Structures are given as C-alpha cells and as structure tokens.
Amino acid sequence: MDLARVPAGFDPETVAVVSAAGLIPVAASTAPYATVAGQRLWTRTLSAAAPRPQLRRAADGRAMRLIVLRPAPGAGLEESVEALRGALKTIRSAGHAAVLPASTLPAATSRWERAARLFLFYAAGLLGPLLAARAGLWAERAARARVTALAPIASPAPEAAAGMAVAWAAAAAAGALAALAAPPSMREEAGRAWTLWTFAAPMAVGAAALFGSEGPALRARWRAPLRLRDVSGALLLAAALVLLLAPRTALRVAGLWESIDRLSAAADALWWWPWRWREILVGAPSLTLALILIGRREQAAKDGCATCVPRLLGDPRGWLIVGLLAPAGTVAAVGSGAAPACAAAAHGAAAFAMGAALGFLLAGLRTRIETWVLGPTSTGLLT
C-alpha cells in the first residue's frame, strides 16, 4: 500500500533521534516523483546501508532528486540511525546545495528569452562535441610540429595526448556554457532527451560531413543487390547503436544487467564509471586512434611516402565519428547540472586519460595486425 496516502504519525522518540541526525522522517511513496515546495523532484528509495557508489549515483543522477533512505528491516534504532548518519555524510559529500533552486525563470523573462535559452542549450549539445574534436585536431597538429623538431622518436604519443587534453577542455567549456544557458528547471525538463541529443546528433552531423562527398558511391551501393554481408552489417550496427544509446535496456535483454550492476556497486573511487563508460571504452580510445591516424596520414603526405599511409583500418573518419562520444559525454555530464560541474569535469578528465591509454594500446595492436597481414612497412610502431 502507498503510505503517502495514509494519515499516519511517527513515534516521537524516533522523530527526535532522526531529527538530531539532520534528517527528516517521511512516509515512503511508490510514485516516481514527489512535489516539494511546488517543484517536482524525482524520488529514489535506497536502504540506509546502501554502498557508497550507489548513494553517490543516486545523488548525482538528476539535478532535482529526493532521496528516501529506508532503515534496514529488523535493525535497532541506534543501528538504523548510525547507518542513516553514514549515508547522509556520503550524500552531503556530493557537494549539492541544501536548498531548492528557483523553480522558474524570473517573472520578467519573456517567452522569446526562454526559447533563446533553450536554443542555446541544444546548440551547445550539438556543436560542443564537434568543436571539441576540432580543437583536439588543431592541438595535435600544433604539438606535432614541436615533437617532430625536438623528439621525433616519441611521436605520435605526445601530440595525441595534447589533442585529447585540449578536446576535454573544450568539451568541459561547452558543457559549462550549456549549464549557463538554461536554468535548473529547464535542464530538468529537457533531461534525458537533451543527453540523448548530445550523444547522437554530433555523430550524425559528423558522419554527414565526413562521408557526404561519397553520395554517388553510396547510392550505387544502395541500388546493388542485397547480400548477406549487408544484412549482417546493418544488424550489427543497429545492435551497437542500441547498446551505446540505451545500454540498460540492451543489457537487460541480454541477461547481463544484474552482473554489471553488482560490478558497478563494488566500485568505490570509480563509482561514476557506469555513467562514463562510453568515454572510457569507446569514445576516447577511438578519438585517440583517429588523432594518430590523421597525424600519420598528414606526415606521410608531407614526406611524399606512399607506403607510410596506414592501410588496415586506417581510415580515420570512422574512428573520428565514434570518437565524438568522448567529448559528448563530458558536455552532457557538465551541462546537465545533475552532478557539480567541477566533479563532472574531473570525471571527464579521468575518463579521457583512461580511454587514451586504451587508445594507444589499440593503435599498437592495429599496427601489429597490419604488419602481420600486409607485411612490414616503414610506418612505425603506432601507425
């Protein structure tokens, strides 16, 4: 039964002890949201003895959230209060404000200003990842000139690392701009739709820009007879998109969600990784490899070395499109306002660093496979 509909009181002693711990006793409700001071808050009910990663993700999951802590069944009063104190300390360490933000824009705000803010909000979600990737390419080229002159043997690691660092900084700045463009209530209304837009729209625009010149070839391929390889590729692409954009649904269908959920609950310092796995495992490694491949291609064209051009999986355009997930994740995390901006940016920096390390390993593996399949060339270790 929904206790929120039952006029019931609380034991005075329990209320006194819980209030002394800085908490407010409430009747748990089965509704997904609650109205507090005229504002809608998404509720999340957890055990007071829930692990720290679960509590932190509950606190930072939404900008407007009410967390209900449930005492463990059968536990004594003192034991329950001690667990509540520990949970409260963990939630407060997230750094959120203790008061509700303004529910709406100031009264003088016109409909046109609200529309302009919403436009800037979505524009930052679209252009932020694209401009961040562009800034990363610029930084990679600028660093390549210095590395070639000072320590050519270290290439391409320093210039790729510089490109990734600048891409992260640009993505964090774009996320901060998105957060400033829309107030908390507007960001909460957009919610999941804006995050999905930030992940998907830049990839679609990037694919159209990079592969748009191949329109006649694509049309000819579209008119060609359908092959089993084409069907398999389309199904694989659809499955990959579902996994990237709706991972929880895909893992539930595959029967792997419970195992992944237990693994995420065991992470302590990396409690945030389930939100940033796209950057760590897909986006940042692909962007790192794209920067390396672009650098090698441009250097080969400059030196006039036709054999130095990467061949096996050497087209950087596909890697660059997938690599947009890295800056998109940082833009979405900082711009949504759910987690504090500094914490979201720091998590993005850590995700970029871990993903870049995987990208360097992927680049080395690609070179080894290319050498084994196509024979040795003068391309170097990390072609």
Separation CA 343–CA 195 (nearest Å): 18
The whole-angstrom separation of Cα 293 and Cα 319 is: 9
- pLDDT tens, residue by residue, 125-181: 999 999 999 999 999 999 988 887 788 787 888 999 999 999 999 999 999 999 999
How many other CB atoms are there within 10 angstroms of residue 364's CB atom?
14
Tens of pLDDT, residue by residue over 283-320, are 999 999 999 999 888 888 887 776 677 777 788 999 99
Dihedral sign for Cα 27, 262, 96, 338, please: negative
Confidence class for position 109, pLDDT limits 50, 70, 90: low
Burial annotation 188-212 (CB, 10 A radius, 16+ → b, else e):
bebeeebbebbbbbbbebbbeeeee
Mean pLDDT, the chain, rounded, equals 82
Beta strand segments in the chain, E: 33-36, 39-47, 65-70
Query: Structural domain boundaries of the chain?
Result: 3-92, 114-226+255-374
This prediction has a pTM of 0.80
Q: Which H or E run contains 277? A: helix 273-277
